[in-house]
Amino acid sequence: AQSVTQLDSQVPVFEEAPVELRCNYSSSVSVYLFWYVQYPNQGLQLLLKYLSGSTLVKGINGFEAEFNKSQTSFHLRKPSVHISDTAEYFCAVRGGSGGGADGLTFGKGTHLIIQP
């Protein structure tokens, strides 16, 4: 079984400042890792994913994340945030080598608050 821990429930950041949202996972098998974003009153949108290969993954809206196997982490970063980045961010994990209908296990979410 897999689990995901998002260490911060809320992160306030000033506009144009950098941000890092932390995510740690637990799994006994190899994993696929994801970050989703949920804007207010909307569904979840995929930001980026790590499947294999390069540990630095680039996503939409200027976000990137780094997979660190030794630290079992997949932290999300953005060098300069905008007001429009205010949203809930979810880290998710899927274990195994692919296939199946297991879905994703989500962390509890981090609310990113951008202050002007």
When the beta carbons of 66 and 88 are compared against other proteins, the nearer one is 88
Q: Could you tell me which of 40, 93, 92, 39 has the C-alpha nearest to residue 61?
A: 39
Is the Cβ–Cβ distance between 78 and 64 less than 8 Å? yes
Residue 23 CB neighbours (<10 A)? 26
Cβ closer to other proteins: 45 or 80?
45
- Contact status: 100 vs other proteins (CB under 8 A): yes
Cα–Cα distance for residue pair 80/56, rounded to 1 Å: 18
- Total residues at interface with other proteins (CB under 8 A): 26
Q: Shortest Cβ distance from residue 82 to other proteins (Å)?
A: 22
Q: Does 7 bind other proteins (CB under 8 A)?
A: no
Dihedrals phi, psi of 39, to nearest 5 degrees: -75, 160
Binding residues among 49-68 for other proteins as defined by CB under 8 A: 49, 51
Residues 25-54 that bind other proteins (CB under 8 A): 32, 34, 36, 38, 42-46, 49, 51
By the rule CB under 8 A, 116 interacts with other proteins: no
Coil/strand/helix, residue 18: coil
Beta bridge pairs of residue 12: 113
Binding site for other proteins (CB under 8 A): 32, 34, 36, 38, 42-46, 49, 51, 88, 90, 94, 98-106, 108-109, 111
